[in-house]
Structures are given as C-alpha cells and as structure tokens.
Chains A and B, each alone.
Chain A
Amino acid sequence: MASFEETFEACRELSSEECERYSRQILVIGCEGQLKLRESSVLVAGVGGLGSAVLYYLVAAGIGKIVFIDDGLVELSNLQRQVLFTIEDIGKPKVLVAESKLKALNPHVKLIPLQATITEDLLEKYIRDVDVVVDALDNWEARFIIDKVAWRYWKPLVHAGVGEYYGQLTVIKRGVTPCLRCLFRGIKSSGRGGVRVLATTPGILGLLEVNEVFKILLGTGEPLYNKVLVFNGRKPSIDIVEIKFSDCSEICEY
C-alpha cells in the first residue's frame, strides 16, 4: 500500500503532516483545494452556538487565517450547545477559551481572537482583508452592521439564524444578491439573549454555514445565492426558497 507521501506526491506545497491530517478531505478537493483553504481567510462574528460549530470545522479543515469576534464570557447556560466550552471555562472570555481549544485542534491555523463588541469601526479594520464573512451572531443590530461592511468591501456574507427547532441560511454577495437588510426587510430588530433553542439546531446550521464557506473558497458547487434554506428540526425538513434577485445597490442605505 502506498504511503501518504507517495499518494500525495503532487502536494509538494503541503507538509507530510498536513497531507496526513487532511488526507480524507484531499481525496475530495485535491491538493489544490487544500492549498486554497490554507491560503484563505475567514471572519466569524459571534462565538456562541453557531460560532462554536463554525470555528471548530473551519479550523479542523485547515483554513489559513480566522478572525473571530465576541465580547462575551462563558456562562453555564452556554454549555448546552456551545461545544467549544466546558465547565472550567465559565467566567472566562469566550474568544480566549476558543483560541486555546482551537490551537490544540490545529496549530497550522492562524487565529486572531478579538474580545470586542461588533462595531463598524472594528469591522472596517478586518473585513477588507478576509475572503468570506460568517454571521454567527444572535441579534439583528449586529448582523446589519456586518452586512453593511461586508457589502462595502464586496465580501460574501454567510448568514444563519436559529431558534427552537428552526433555522435559516443564505449567502449574500453584492452584485449577485440583495443585501441582508433588504432581503429580510420586514424583520424588526430585537435585543439579544434569552433565545429558546434546542442544543442541536445551531450545530446543524453552523455546519451548513461552513459548507457554504467551502463552496465559496473552492469555487465549486452552488452557494445559496438568492436562495434561503429553511430548516425545520421538528419534521425534519429542509426547504430551499428561491428569491427573485433585486439589485438593491442603488436604493439601500449602504
């Protein structure tokens, strides 16, 4: 049987450790795909239920650089679904705990944790240098801020939201889709916290977000542009709702 080195002889850019680590994935996306992931950068806004799943899999899969933002501390009520955290982490900043756990998972990934509130000024510094932005937030006010800055810099934004057994997922890209605010223009902003959610719902939607990130970075498949995936864990069912594209570049407040 051929060794990993022989099997992936073409992967000269990757170390033997990387070839073995990503071997099952390289069989799917090739060495070229793995290198694309290594050369990519992603910003994840929110390190809660969605963010825990998103970060874990982005790091495991070998994304080159990940910026992640959250201003919260780990609480006991987080542990039901926020799988990066354990009992000894309670009271500590989420981003710092996440950094430690993720570094242990994959030291090849450059991690940039930011313990901060989402503001336009903060995002201005980071969004311009990443390839994809992931919305793992828990409130519409902050979502519309990342939407605005991602739109300004023409960065794809992968959105998900969850509650109870339900969730939705879509991808926003300027020139291809309306912005998030225009797509969800009937939605009223509401405060954060107190969300009712089953443990599995953010995990499922978080992994679907990562799947969209991979398609965008690898330039393969069909990202959810002008489509909203609606997940219902009670059935279970997944519906894809097609949205007619309307270019809001000229009319929206961005």
Chain B
Amino acid sequence: MVVRVRILESNEYIELEVKEISVREILSKLGLTLSEHIVLKNGEVITEDDVVEDGSEVVIFTVKSGG
C-alpha cells in the first residue's frame, strides 16, 4: 500500500505507506505549501481535497509568481 511521490524541486522520490491520502495531507507531511505547488496524479492536476489511492504516482512541482 504505497503512494509514490516525486518532488521535482529537490528531485526526491518518496514512498508513503498509506491506502489513500489527500493532497492536503501529502503536502503537509512534506512541509510544502498548498499555495505554491502543483500536484499531478498520473498526469492530471489535482487539488487539496482530492484523494490519492494506493498505487498512484504523484508529481509535485513548485510554481513561482515573480516576473
């Protein structure tokens, strides 16, 4: 029962041993802010209340606002 998470900014791969977990909980566990990160599950953008199930692959990348 594993959700695989790739964090682009640090190029880390993390395995979370859970049956399911919300995006909010993933970011919280990793110490990342909701407001600056995009989360993809199998290539689809998901948001804070979406749930990721066992076996899913998640990619997280930072989005910057400056110009």
Q: Using a CB–CB distance below 8 Å, which chain A residues touch chain B?
A: 46, 48-51, 135-140, 160-164, 166-168, 182-188, 190, 195-197, 202, 228, 230, 232, 235, 237, 239, 241-244, 246
Shortest beta-carbon contacts, A-B, top 7 = A195-B66, A163-B64, A138-B67, A188-B35, A244-B43, A161-B64, A50-B67
Q: Evaluate contact between A237 and B11: CB separation under 8 angstroms.
A: yes
Interface: B2 (CB within 8 A): no
The CA of A168 and the CA of B36, in the complex, are separated in Å by 12
Residue from A138, A185, A244 in contact with B66 in the complex, judged by beta carbons closer than 8 Å: A138
Size of B's binding interface in residues, CB under 8 A: 25
12 A-B residue pairings within 8 Å (CB atoms): A49-B66, A138-B66, A138-B67, A161-B63, A161-B67, A162-B66, A164-B64, A184-B45, A186-B37, A187-B65, A228-B38, A232-B8
Interface: B40 (CB within 8 A): yes
List chain A residues, Cβ under 8 A from B67. Answer: 46, 48-51, 135-139, 160-162, 195, 202
Q: Evaluate contact between B66 and A197: CB separation under 8 angstroms.
A: yes
Query: With contacts A188-B35, A237-B11, A241-B8 known, is A161 near B61, CB below 8 A?
Result: no
Number of residue pairs spanning A and B whose beta carbons lie under 8 angstroms apart: 93
* B26-67 contact mask (Cβ, 8 Å, vs A): 1 or 0: 000000001111111011110110000000000101111111
The CA of A237 and the CA of B23, in the complex, are separated in Å by 25
The CA of A136 and the CA of B8, in the complex, are separated in Å by 23
Interface: B12 (CB within 8 A): no
